[in-house]
Amino acid sequence: MADDDLLFMPATRAAALIRRRDLSPVAYVDAVLAAIARAQPVLNCFVTVDEEGARRDAVAAERAVTSSATLGPLHGVPVHIKDLVDVAGLPTFHGSAIFSDATPAARDNVLVARLRAAGAIIIGKTTTPEFGVKGLTDGPSFGTTRNPWNLERTSGGSSGGAAAAVAAGLGPLGLGTDGAGSVRGPAACCGLVGLKPTLGAVPWDTARDSFGNNSYAGPLARTVTDAAVMHTILAGPSAQDPWSLGRTGGARPLSPALMGEDLSALRVGYIPRCANPRVAADVATNTRAALDAWAAMGAKVEEVTDAIDWIEYEGRVLYQANFSVFCAPFLPQWQNRMDPVTLAFMQRGADFTLADFRNAEFARTRLFRAMQALFELYDVLVTPTMARTALPADFDAANDDVIIDGEKCGITRQGWTSPQYPFNLTGHPAVTLPSGVGDDGLPTGVQVVGRWGAEADILRVGALLERARPWADRRPVLPSA
């Protein structure tokens, strides 16, 4: 098998070949590590590559196959982890110079432990902007992570390293985190599937405020099946996450309307825009093509005309005020080495009052109830994932205006990623799927949002789109370093 075919093979297919002894985990890991060595100088998507550990685990995985041991669903499959999540024996830098001397983690995060228990081989840590603060992946401590489809563009953020790596064939699965769209945005920028689960479905037991949490962990993958398998592995309660304890047994079974390929019983609510003033014409065209594909299967597609307060301002209050408080202790020593975007968000967050913050929390509840009312009318909601394709890699996320079809549309959260953050706040599951290619040759994405606990539904809707409009065979071509 050619290395290129191996690198772009779905994780589930690779795992099946390994179980059948048709693929060596050692050869697989060696091929991925060699590809990382070639691509890293071009993409800059890893902060740590654990060659020694990955090869050791690959040898153990091969031994387990030959000894007919019980094998997990990802046995022998290379997976990388965003550098906000602890991996035993590797440092966690959080994308920040503040942690440049971090000692190796003593133990795996619960999600990494679950991946290992499923047979995955952890090959390294992928880049993230400082504390995952923005929608592009760059920073003073590690440089700029680039989009494999166009090196002058961003891979998105804050799971941009994971998205660039998966898109470039540097491991079929990446674990990302999503505090304001940070799985879905990079996935859309790089032509991938990215899933933000229901609040509590996958534990996030490192949250500083567990009860007010709006951050999630989820997969970045090239196929819906790979994302679904990884999500199933990650899901389940953790004693350290109260939302996950409350979700025990809470996943909804697949809706009967989605059991087959006739979607006549499926009601789709199409939301063309959230708080963003514009959507690029090519993104809108590709979103409509996805809707048409579902309609051709029988789905009833209806534009949502309800006036919805997407609480863009209140969402900004919650986001920036949290960073202001969390990062304040670092300022005396580290201010001159922190990302200017982090500092700008902190300053804006410091200007909000306690009343602003509490009113924003009240607004979060209102938004949740507005979405619940929509789900009385529709089975799923559909939006563009991003208002345009990937921004320039040197875009200033704190100050630059997003330009769409020649018009200024505000900073990133207002003009570019607006459809994502509302569902961090409401807790509903959301998946981004490739919807096509923009006029500039870069990927576009469509987002499907479901009822609480309905990951199975939105993944099934995604799988039907993948069958109708395949995307996984598209591969970027990287220049030599």
Domain that holds residue 259: 3-468
How far apart are alpha carbons 119 and 124 in whole angstroms? 15
* Averaged pLDDT score across all residues of the chain: 97
Q: Which two tokens stand for residue 230?
A: 């990884």
Report pLDDT for 246. Answer: 80
Query: Considering the domain boundaries, does residue 476 fall inside one?
Result: no
Q: Which two tokens stand for residue 371?
A: 């979405």
Cβ burial of 143 (10 Å; 0-12, 13-18, 19+) is: exposed
Q: What are phi and psi of 147, to 5 degrees?
A: -80, 125
Helix (H, G, I), strand (E, B) or coil at 148: coil
Cis bond before residue 158 (omega within 30° of 0): yes
pLDDT tens digits, one per residue of 148-182 = 999 999 999 999 999 999 999 999 999 999 999 99
Q: What angle do CA 139, 140, 144 make, to 5 degrees?
A: 45
- Residues 189/195/200/203 CA torsion (nearest 10 deg): -80
Report pLDDT for 104. Answer: 98
Query: Considering the domain boundaries, does residue 481 fall inside one?
Result: no
Helix (H, G, I), strand (E, B) or coil at 20: coil
The number of beta carbons lying within 10 Å of the beta carbon of residue 112 is 22
Query: Considering the domain boundaries, does residue 477 fall inside one?
Result: no
Q: Do residues 88 and 99 make contact, with C-beta atoms less than 8 angstroms apart?
A: no
Q: Biggest alpha carbon distance in the chain?
A: 63
The number of beta carbons lying within 10 Å of the beta carbon of residue 368 is 18
How far apart are alpha carbons 474 and 359 in whole angstroms? 46
pLDDT tens digits, one per residue of 286-305 = 999 999 999 999 999 999 99
Query: Considering the domain boundaries, does residue 474 fall inside one?
Result: no
Q: Give percent above pLDDT 70 in the chain.
A: 99
Domain harbouring 230, CATH code: 3.90.1300.10
Look at strands 443-450 and 380-384 and give their pairing.
Answer: antiparallel
Query: Considering the domain boundaries, does residue 376 fall inside one?
Result: yes
How far apart are alpha carbons 231 and 218 in whole angstroms? 7
| Catalytic sites, residue numbers | 82, 158, 182
pLDDT tier for residue 3 given thresholds of 50, 70 and 90: confident
Query: Considering the domain boundaries, does residue 448 fall inside one?
Result: yes
Q: How many domains does the chain have?
A: 1
353 alpha-carbon distance from chain centroid: 31
Mean pLDDT of 252-259: 95
Query: Considering the domain boundaries, does residue 473 fall inside one?
Result: no
pLDDT tens digits, one per residue of 72-118 = 999 999 999 999 999 999 999 999 999 999 999 999 999 999 999 99
* 2-6 contact pairs (CB < 8 A, 24+): 3/31, 3/34, 3/35, 4/169, 4/475, 6/31
Residue 449 exposure: Cα atoms within 13 Å on the Cβ side: 27
Query: Considering the domain boundaries, does residue 236 fall inside one?
Result: yes
